Amino acid sequence: MEEILDFWIRSNVNVSRDGSNFPSSYLQVNKSDVDQKLCITAESSLLNLCQICEAHTKMCTGNIRFIKKTMRGHVMSVRIQCTKDKSHSYLWSSSPYLPNEEYLVNHRINHGFVSSGMLPSHYTRFVNGSGIGCIDWSLRKKFISTYKESVETEYKELIKTAVHEEIASNEDLDAINILTDARHGWRKNAKDSSIVAIGENLHKVLDCVHVTK
């Protein structure tokens, strides 16, 4: 019996040392798999997936596999199950949750979309063409509404601070000089224009007005 155990130990040690059963980290896609599902993930979620696999390996010799994949915006929610014991089942998402139980990844993508100046049609064509999922319009609308309130609050505070700093930069402390673009960024065929006023001394934005013909 001792000889059998020694042989088993030597065999397993040799396998682990030469790495013959370890999968290659270089993965090449086949032509038939180029349309596979894609998602956007966060660093902490990848670490969490590694921790799940490591914890399962310590308590079970079975392999784990994906049995169900669901796209939630740009996030993939995956049901992972053990091939040996079906009670070993885990639900993993490619994004961590924010305090409001919404996905960080979707909020970050929404932030990039809003601040980039892209039109909704541009966003839809891009994500559908790349196959990385798409955030539902109702969720985007909800995000923009909340985002707008936060931006307006921050804008008013920054403008107020800039005006006070510009006043303090003048010796008489009772007036300021402003600069604007004489063209106001208005093209001949443009219906709308944003006129920005900056302080003469500090060159910080003091106000911005949207004008429509």
**Of all residues in the chain, what percent carry a pLDDT higher than 70?**
86
Q: Write the CB contacts of 164 (distance below 8 Å, at least 6 apart in sequence).
A: none
Long-range contacts of 208-212 (CB under 8 A, 24+ apart): 211/184
- How far apart CA 40 and CA 108 sit, in angstroms, is 11
pLDDT by residue (tens digit) across 82-118? 999 999 999 999 999 999 999 999 999 999 999 898 9
Say how many Å lie between the first and final Cα of the chain, rounded.
Answer: 94
- Residue boundaries of the structural domains of the chain: 36-135, 152-213
- pTM higher than the cut 0.85: no
Average pLDDT over residues 49-66: 91
Spatial separation of the C-alpha atoms in residues 104 and 95, rounded to whole Å: 6
Looking up tokens 């013959």 gives 20
| pLDDT tens-digit map of 192-212 | 777 889 999 999 999 988 887
Coil vs helix vs strand at 107: helix
